[in-house]
Structure 1
Amino acid sequence: MSTIHWTETHTRHSARWHSENASPLPRRTVVADDRMKANDAYRQACEGTALLWQGDFHNARQLLQAMGRRIDRKPPKSSTSPSKNFHLHRRRSNDRAGVLGMLLVLLDDDYTLTLRRAPNVRQACLQAYGPSKGPMVVSLRELLGVLGAHQWRLKGIDVPTLGARIHPHYGVFAPVRGEYVDLVAHTPLPPATRHSPATSTAFDLGTGTGVLAAVLAHRGINRVVATDISARALVCARENVHRFALTDRIEVSGPGLFPEDRADLVVCNPPWLPARPTGPIEQGVYDPDSTMLHSFLAGLSAHLRPGGEGWLILSDLAEHLGLRTRQQLLDAIQVAQLRVVDKIDTKPRHPRSKDAADPLHIARSAETTSLWRLTA
């Protein structure tokens, strides 16, 4: 646990320092309010000085936006190499997050935010952080993310395949890209599952919100075991399973990847890009060295019933970015002594795939999401 210190009206203050993306404790912290100019705030943040905001909440949001505009004025570096472009983009994004993360707010006991015109953030913080352990300082940028996640949790995300809404929690990857859900909803089930639905079993590895487990249950699979390594995801999946009234069909288990026993169908939608995440939200997208992908392939044969299938849902974005080759994926499948039965492809429908201003637009526009049907 780190403690942050600052001086206000000649009095020394301190509180717990909290950062979901493990940002280090600022070297120096000063108090700032509505008199702070954007240029001064930007300069001090770039120099490593954190600004603990004591003014109006809406003015703080405007200051954060103004600092972001100053960062964006610098033209991004580019390369002819897709992989170098990706790493340059990631570095720029991380640097941007570091500078904007220097604008801080103090949350008092029970997550009270005492700034003028501040919203009530207590419920959102309780859901994201758990019970309060006393005053703590967080970046305003992180707090806004917590508030946004709270709204998603309240309203939910429409999943047409289920005819219902899924409710993601803070730090759990939200199924905003529906193409991978549709692949699981429409790919023909393995013969053993179709012929004996009353005794069929499926595993959903890395379940997140539980959306794919719910899709499998809706398709008639009698028993679904959903796993995840994230404690937040396990809580989120259990709540959604209860909301869908599927607790008699879906068991949420973990933390871990594979459950005990074998299944007729094992579904895995691992993070698609082999890179290091910078926070809990990114863990659904980035996975260093494709650890989850290789763990799934290595353990699949031992967890399949005779005639069973493993469904790997994977984008080829990493291939277009030069982070992984198709041959490397095929070699990993072969090393695991698996056979490719079929591959069903679909094109992404999310807005970024059509955004020409996106630094990774060339790769995103060529992206294909595939469901690989694998057998032992």
Structure 2
Amino acid sequence: MRISTGMLYQTGVRTIQDQTTQMLHTQQQVATGRRIVAPSDDPIASARALEISQAQSLNSTFQTNQGSAKDSLNLLENKLYAVEDIITHTRTRAVEAGNGSYSDSEWGAIAIDIRASFDSLLGLANSQNGNGEYMFSGYQADVKPYVGNINGVSFQGDQGQRTLQVSPSRIMSVSNSGSEVFNDVKAPQGEFFAVPGNPNGGTGYVASTQTTGTYTGTQYLVSWDGTNYNVTDRATGAAVTSQTGPTLSFGNVQLEMAGTPSVGDVFEVGPSADVFKMYTNLTRALENPSSNGVSGAISQAITGMDQSLDQVLTVHASVGSRMLEVNTLEDVGSDLDVQYADTLSRLQDVDYAQAVSDLSLQQTYLQASQQSFLKITNLSLFNYLG
């Protein structure tokens, strides 16, 4: 076989280029710390590493959401603690007001404290988080949930719960609507609440309540027309009775009305009521005691505070359960993060000892190729002529 000078040069250059390419590839591995510099280095491992990286990124997103959920629930828990303290304080003051030896001025002093507690409770119900969102307004985060004063408060929010996805299979509520905390406080089984409606212009209130038979849970509206109290079924709007008062009897319930209602004022009777209306009824009773005293209104207020506290504690327990779940998910997320990092390291990271050894060997090969190429290219018959 004849070997031309051109073939010698081509073979030598190709060998040097191959050795240089291999050495540069190894240098990239050492410089980046990655075994896979390009997907073609290991297509299977490269595809698997991409899947793991995507899973790791998704897990990082869930960890961020878990932190946000934890912050929201912590803030919610703090507000609920404050609500519980206020309701407990109000109950204590109501029990104190039940002292039959108290004078009107002493009841008035307690009423001032009850008003202050009402204002504090209303402020908590309108609490905002660090983003300026109202915490108890449901989905309507930019809407102030409770509007009004001691004479009447209306709920402007909805019953929605804001959520965050904290794991691939878990979407968690990070808020509770005010309707769960402050509205629809349930009376004990077989009993009812009777409170002023929203808003009433007069100072009328319900001085006492009692059942005269089995109360079935029907809701009633009692409106004052200046002469009579007109009772209607709240669900159907049907008229039930019209009585002059102050004692009203209908549907196995009996009410003792007091104070000075304005024409058009409405009172609500039913198996539930919101806590703010309970404050209104108690305050009016203490500020304008009836001839029979305030014991009936105080008794209803104490029951209302007990039921309100139970409702808040139920929500609080739910918040605590979610906080515990978030803590567990954070632990799981941290473990997954470590596992993903370990898997990626095994798939992608270079073995430095092996890479440095290969680089040294490839440098030797390259130098040998260069030296041999020089010697071969110096071979010529002209060196022997002369």
What TM-score do the two structures reach when normalised by structure 2?
A: 0.26
Q: Which has the higher contact order (CA 8 A, sep 6+)?
A: 2
> Quick check: which one's helix share is greater?
2
Question: Counting strand residues as a fraction of each chain, which structure ranks higher?
Answer: 1
Determine which structure has more spread, i.e. the larger CA radius of gyration: 2
